[in-house]
A and B are shown apart, each in its own frame.
Chain A
């Protein structure tokens, strides 16, 4: 750590290794006592050049790479890529696959938001909600392990189908889990979300106005926390989302201005409840069928390009795939929501204190794997 005193400002490095930056993120803070004048994020510590790898393997081989971008919401990453390639190849999957995909995506959304909420509690100093959230997240991971054998990186949504069919009795297990879990969200609210100290720490901090958010391309819960009602699942539905009944959670500014850290956090908590609703409906709609029937023998899409975006827990994940007609993609470009959220960090954190920097980083729910790819 360097100690440079430029005039009166001290440069403090919240370095790549830090308990609260949710990964390898380096924040260069120019502080004057406790107040931060400028906070510059430096990324790239987890850069594995996913886009170059994608050009060297064939289309199905890219899917394990997509897992590792937003590693806590792996199902959604796979889904985006699979849908993009299916759009390019013109494949239609049957109802069973669509319902399974939606169910898995929503369960993964719940798991990701639980992790976000729990670690946000730890950042604020409240250690107990973290373990409660993880206890419930473990049950979701057990469900995933039953289906595809992996707990975190699933490689589950394939081009044209899913890897394994769900085991018998799985639907009942999912419903049991949802019955067990939904009342616990209220417990979490009583412990953390409605806590006076927590509200004081987050409700006036990190205000993100809707104009700044849209200009910075921020999407997902971060945008909805600023009051903009925008959800890809409702506004440009993919799979069967237009047939499902759910609400879009929007930041209301109950305890402070709209667009604060508290709003973004509450949007995630409300989304958890909505995801439970969607998962229940998805389970009810599953019909018998063969999940592998639409998987192409040789994945050779026609030459062309496609852009597909899906709603991931951290925002809209976009895949831009250019195919030259061969077995390997020519170019896969990923638009990652956490990347755009981080690009607005400098704006949001003007004039905050060091403790607020921690609050803001936690409320954006960044996953470094997705920022750096």
Chain B
């Protein structure tokens, strides 16, 4: 029998090298596409190539190279699609923000750099994703503190009717964005511990075998967090997002449809109460049903977004050639409509496909992992990305009532961008850990095989 070099190091190195090479290819492709779009945006405006094309490309490439090198060093076995799609989405978003509002673009560039640092930091400090379990109560408390921070007089700030912002000195941010990660970590670790108990039925109610009532406690707590967000901060988007996170993780962990149905029941109840309580919610639904009758009022954003997307058609007006700036919040909530106008159905589909690939890569990591916590956490995090994308794109396309929330990676917004970079760092970590363990397992099997 010839001996093949099957040491873990070598196989791992080879796999890592392949994956990083693929990743490099993906980000090179994305970088070229983004630079080309940037040049086109400038041509669309002034029929001149941008003066700062070289620094721009250097900046984009520089940041992605830093991300790439950090993965090479800290998580070489991670799925290359994760960084590839993130580069594409962030870059596309950045060019779009640049085209819409140059002032914000400078800030967005800064946030990209901060996000890169946060990404590398997360990868560096979180050596193993499962270690996060240990700090679950710290994360839970942090999450709750972050959630109530905007309510604290002095630092909390109301912007556009929602009290989501905290201003400390010159820096203002939305702590709620970061909560989705801390809550995902807490909920995942909590459920991993309790899921056996929660999925078992101990008492019978008619034909249904119910788990112990005490296990409903956390469900009610999560429901409470969601609705506190809705009632106190008036942020329907984040509320729905947290709720989707809880419910999906509960179901993935326990496999019991009981939890989602109960939660859905509570959600509908909560929304009905909110419906009675808040005029703005009723207005939202009215606008959703018929934005055209209030085209100069509450339906203005939606109607203009539809005009823009319709005018974009299949291929778009061309970047820099549209007029999306009249939509209020076009850089944040409505950036998808701007993309629809200037890049057409191709552009909007590109966003959806990139996001879908990202979700797929995250789920692949979840499925590859043998650790239930990591599995659950990865599933929760990608669900957040998917649902968040659906809430805003579905809102703009009128599949859902509109709620303001960022399009992950694409919209302008520091809190959102940095949070999502950290989120991806965690997925990269989980993906790497899962591959590494799988390699070890394979090695053990093959070495067992050879000894027998």
Q: Do these two chains really belong together in a complex?
A: no
Interface residues of A (CB under 8 A from B): none
